Structure 1
Amino acid sequence: MPDGSPQPGPVDGSSRKDALLAASELLKALASPLRLGIVSELAGGGRRVHELVAALGAPQPLVSQHLRVLRAAHIVTARREAREIEYTLTDTHIAHIVLDAIRHAQE
């Protein structure tokens, strides 16, 4: 690649099947425009539900439902702060996957 990053290559080794299955599950969990929007918002840092609702223009119960899916897939983590919960991405790799997919779709 022009930026010096390694070229993606085939997955090999004894854990190939496990890695492909895990990647498939990850992509299934991301397979929703609202969940992609949530991850995109969280790429900028932790957010509370009401902040995600405002940013995405979606009803609070729907945002909460999608956050549950993302938590179950270990894509986001939740941390209680007094009466509110702050959601963050588990790692930055997820943000790169989503933001790259969005950029690619816009080309």
Structure 2
Amino acid sequence: MPAARVSPDTLVAAGELLRALSAPVRISIVLELRESARCVHELVGTLGVTQPLISQHLRVLKSAGVVRGERAGREVLYHLADDHLARIVVDAVAHAQEGRSQ
């Protein structure tokens, strides 16, 4: 049975999503947000990366629809847009770990 055709627009969107997930810091952010919603300073502390760099990566993830931000007082609490995206990252990390152990 032939595979269903995927529209060019869908392929472009998938490529943009994968590109947004391609940086190690962004992968780390997704893994952290999988556990719970976090604000920027929590990600800075956990990942050991500067605040401007975390904010830059969050902008990329937000524009790709990977994360959403909700204002909580003076801070913005970031969370994953959906669990499906976390599974993509977890599967990629698991695949990379398997490749290194062989």
Instruction: Report the TM-score when normalising by structure 1.
Output: 0.85
Could you tell me which runs of 5 or more consecutive residues in structure 2 were left unpaired when the two chains were aligned.
none
The corresponding residue for 2:64 is: 73
Aligned residue for 1:43, secondary structure, equals helix
Q: Which runs of 5+ in 1 are unaligned?
A: 1-8
Q: Which has the larger share of helix?
A: 2
Give runs of aligned pairs for residues 31-70 of structure 1, distance below 5 A.
31-70=22-61
Q: Count residues with an aligned counterpart.
A: 97
How far did 1:18 drift? 2.1
- What fraction of aligned residue pairs are identical, expressed as a percent? 53
Letter in structure 1 aligned against 2:25: L
Q: TM-score, normalised by structure 2?
A: 0.89
Match of 2:84 in 1: 93
| Distance in structure 1 (CA, Å) of the matches to 2:68 and 2:21 | 15
For 1:79 and 1:49, how far apart are their aligned partners in 2? 12
One-letter identity of the residue aligned with 2:48: G
Post-superposition shift, 1:45?
Answer: 1.6
Q: Distance in 2 between matches of 1:58 and 1:92?
A: 24
Cα distance in structure 2, aligned partners of 1:72 and 1:22? 12
| Root mean square deviation of aligned Cα | 1.4
